[in-house]
Amino acid sequence: MYAVPLYQVLVVGAGRYKAVRFALRNNGSSPEVRGCDTGLAHLRTCEPTWIPSYRPHSFFTPRLGAWRLIPHQGFLIHEGADSNLGRVGGSLGCVEIVDGGWVPFLEDIERLGGGTCAEIGAARKLVVKIEPAIYPTAMRE
């Protein structure tokens, strides 16, 4: 298991949320320090769609769903682990809203978007701007 840096996700006009943005592929090695090798590092603007039945694989979520950032690809925004509850989890490059922020994050989007996540996604009303970043280093725990 590796610790990776957390990033901020800003919902303009609402809150800031902590998120995992980059991950490591399991390549069979486990040195003390590894560079992250998975995630969206380049500048891009997305109009994500909503996947209502998505469930994180590592833990129970009080609210299903995820935002698909790029059509026909696996990069999502979804609920991540909650260190406050002792939960750990991994990412394969998705943006994971961590530490109990998932439900408030969705509520902010719905309040500002004037509808449910499904309605906002279908109308392509959500715009996600991904800032460029260098793949960070992860430390083995």
Q: Give the count of domains, the chain.
A: 1
Amino acid, res. 22 = F
The token duo for 80 is 């991540």
Backbone φ and ψ of 85, nearest 5°: -105, 10
Mean pLDDT over all residues of the chain? 92
Sign of CA dihedral 42, 47, 51, 56: positive
Check whether 120 has a pLDDT greater than 90. yes
Read off the tokens for 110: 């719905």
Determine the Cα–Cα distance for residues 100 and 77; give it in Å rounded to an integer: 14
Query: For residue range 78-102, what is the model confidence (pLDDT) as tens digits?
Result: 999 998 888 877 778 899 999 999 9
Domain of 90? 2-140
Residue 115: φ, ψ to 5°: -175, -175
